[in-house]
Amino acid sequence: MAQQLCHRTRSLLRLSAIVSSSSASSSLIPLSDSIIPRQQQQRAGFAADALTVDVPVPFKAHKCDAPSLSVETSAQELLSFFKTMFTMRRMEIAADSLYKSKFIRGFCHLYDGQEAVCVGMEASLNQKDCIITAYRDHCIHLGRGGTLLEVFSELMGRKDGCSLGKGGSMHMYNKKGGFFGGNGIVGAQTPLGAGLAFAQKYLKVDGVTLTMYGDGAANQGQLFEAMNIAALWSLPVIFVCENNHYGMGTAEWRSAKSPEYYKRGDYVPGMKVDGMDCLAVKQAVKYAKEQALKNGPFVLEFDTYRYHGHSMSDPGSTYRTRDEISGVRQERDPIERIRKLLLSLEIASVSDLKTLEKEAKSEVDEALAKAKESPQPDTSELFSHIWVKGYGAEAYGADRKEVVVKLP
Amino acid sequence: MAMARQALAATAVTTGNVVPLAASSSSRFPRLQLVTPIVSHELGRCRLATRSSATSYFGTAPQNRGTTNVTTNAVATKEASTSSATTTGGHELLLFEALREGLEEELDRDPTVCVIGEDVGHYGGSYKVTKGFVEKFGDWRLLDTPICENSFTGMAIGAAMTGLRPVIEGMNMGFLLLAYNQIANNCGMLHYTSGGQFTIPVVIRGPGGVGRQLGAEHSQRLESYFQSVPGLQMVACSTPYNAKGLMKAAIRSENPVILFEHVLLYNLKEKIPDEEYTCCLEEAELVRPGEDITILTYSRMRYHVTQAAKTLVNKGYDPEIIDIRSLKPFDMYTIGQSVKKTHRVLIVEECMRTGGIGASLRAAIMENFFDDLDAPIGCLSSQDVPTPYSGPLEELTVVQPPQIVAAVEQLCSRE
């Protein structure tokens, strides 16, 4: 067992080494080849900060052609990636200390390490697209237009939470932003996602649904059922597997006969992407969206990593070594990658980035303080939203004179 | 208040709008307009009935309910044509045809209604409830699914989150056990856990109950399994009239509704009104008024009870029979009024004894009407056994009319 763990750590570190060395080289040499120098841009009338970056780790494609490794982006976009990911990181760390000081109870699943997936996805999506995911949803809620105050309040069960304090960490939803949760049961969100895509096709909405799940959920039967019906009816759904290599305490090689999750759709085309690289994620989602709108379902596997344990109740070190965690943090951290990129492209200086970081920190602290002051929900909220006020669904007392349950 | 609400809802409906969804609907999913305007009294089957003197008792609004002007046989039959409020003759059909009529009217009325299930499209429905629909409405609205209850139920719930109104058909209610997680965790809870952001206006329907020697796994009664899931509404239809009315009301309701049909009742014949009507989802139906004892029942057992009632009447008893129809929430008003009148209760159900609908109903009646009772509440349910294949044994698992007669005699003889 220990031997296999060591083997696992070694192979992950080897992968990190490849990635970091190639990214180190590619962030200097190929980039300088492919970046259009600033003066030339301005002369040629390009957008002042548009540029192209080469993504180091190649895409692995299954029954489709991989897109190009040159990603179009802009200085502004890269800066926003940095700021957003940093904010998300601070938010998750704040949630960690809230949990330890018992402001957050129950289960709290943190997303730090995986921010690139969420932020990269949003760069290729728009208002018409829908996202549904499982319980590691705080950052995705933020990415879809939620506010820090909503997230912190919901985590602490207060009135200002996005679900009025009644959902908690695992049940965050944002209807306006097109975020459909926030689901507690592993894998149960995959048929729901197929349903969202069904509605998009039925109502002729020009959008896709991203149904996210993890490597643990990839072994659920309902996922394969959902893939079958999505492929049968060409539903515009992208099945996104966030492969962080551990299903709670069980490593992927111990739970899946075939850990090539992007191939498990069989007749559904798929692609494996380095999930710690924002730009690779952006490119992959852009490509997958085009495919999904034309041909039906697509599977994306993002190779990512979580620094925390499965949840706050899990130390995260009994099934993996601390070396592995710190190794990934040093070699593949998504925020550090963007930082290096920004510095090497001279889009921002060290002090600029420090300012952004400070801004993010203060936003998070402010929201946290406000959330702590938010009141607990009213007692009447216990009974509200059980039923929608439809055709007279009220629960009266026996005499129908005394209303025991009031519906809004 | 209930009247006002129904009036409001009726007005909303007559102007041709879809029943209003939450105000904060985004432009993400376009709202489809209704195609046909509604006849103004389509909800008023309930209200029409209260105004005319020769009333049918079922479906009246609570405030106008009284103990006067009640016909002795509230089920519309050929003999009772004068008691119904129909101006035209009405038309006769079988229960599955009534379900089909209700479903067709709703599919016509609202383009967001669709049917999802196994063999609902090209095959026409395993019990012919959707026969001929796919030619009229298309493959996309009568969706033939592969055999994957868990995921197609989940898919329908996901679609409902965006504003579509799917009707999920389980070929047999028992198969929906495979979708239990989706129904309990997602369908029932999403409105609550999202703080009211999403509504799930699905209808889950299908035949259940003990049939003719179908075997244990095809004779399931799921009402007991779903009754404690918060957020679900459950109704059981028993006549062509209430089948059509409940189907329509369930589709229009913003709540997830489980409509329990019975596999042996599909060929019941009855005359139903020509004009459009719905039944109230939360109300019970008075089948026969009486003075001596209140018999509460639903679905197929209603017919065993009415058969037993003939024997009882000959023996000099006067039972009041109520078809509770709404299994969740119970219509405690109608039930309470009856208990206060007769002081004795017998529940006759097809559920298992342990944890069945009768068990909950007994507790609710005892809690609310203990002082009005002269005898313990009787409850006749099916035996706690898997339904055997053998004919005589299967007959023994369900409640039969002689048992009902004996139970009534026993309850009425107590002082």
For residue range A73-112, list pLDDT tens digits in order: 999 999 999 999 999 999 999 999 999 999 999 999 999 9
**Predicted pLDDT at A363:** 96
Indicate the range of A156-165, A310-319, B16-25, B382-391 predicted with least confidence.
B16-25
Nearest to B231 among A162, A185, A386 (CB): A386
- Residues B102 and B278 sit within 8 Å (Cβ to Cβ): no
Enumerate the residues of chain A whose CB falls inside 8 A of the CB of residue B249. Answer: 391
Q: What residues of chain B, 29 to 88, have a C-beta less than 8 Å from chain A?
A: 29-30, 32, 62
* Amino acid letter for position B308: A
Mean pLDDT of chain B: 82
CA distance linking residue B281 with residue B243, whole number of Å: 11
Verify whether the Cβ–Cβ distance A163 to B193 is below 8 Å.
yes
The nearest alpha carbon in chain A to B9 belongs to A391
Please name which of A390, A309, A392, A340 lies closest in space to residue A19, comparing C-alpha atoms.
A340
Find out whether B94 and B266 touch, Cβ atoms under 8 Å: yes
Please state, in angstroms and rounded to a whole number, the distance separating the CA atoms of residues A342 and A278. 13
Record the tokens describing residue B72, joined without a space. Answer: 């002795």
Span B58-77, pLDDT tens digits: 233 333 333 333 333 334 33
Q: Which residue of A has its CA nearest to B32?
A: A203
Confidence of residue B18 (pLDDT cuts 50, 70, 90): very low
CB contact under 8 A, A175 and B150: no
For residue range B214-267, what is the model confidence (pLDDT) as tens digits? 989 999 999 999 998 988 999 999 999 999 999 999 999 999 999 999 999 999
ipTM for the complex? 0.78
Which residues of B are part of the catalytic machinery? 149, 218
Size of interface A-B (CB pairs under 8 A): 210
Euclidean distance between CA atoms B44 and B51, whole angstroms: 10
CB contact under 8 A, A163 and B199: no
Stated as kind and residue range, the H or E segment containing A287 is helix A278-295
Residue A10: pLDDT band with limits 50, 70, 90: low
Q: Where are the alpha helices (DSSP H) in B45-185?
A: 45-51, 95-109, 133-137, 149-161, 180-181
- pLDDT score recorded for residue A30: 27
* Percent of all residues in chain B with a pLDDT value above 70, rounded to a whole number: 79
What is residue A402's predicted lDDT score, i.e. its pLDDT? Answer: 53
Nearest beta carbon to residue B194 from set A167, A196, A200: A167
In B, which residues are within 8 Å of A202 by CB distance? 114, 140, 159, 164
C-alpha torsion sign, points B17, B20, B21, B27 = positive
Q: Which of B1, B3, B21, B29 to mutate to test the interface with A (most CBs of A within 10 A)?
A: B29
Cβ-based contacts of B369 with chain A (< 8 Å): 398
Paired tokens of A21: 């060395």
> Cα–Cα distance between A386 and B255 in angstroms, integer?
9
Q: Which of A194, A199, A390 sits opposite B255 (nearest CB)?
A: A390
What pTM was computed for the model? 0.80
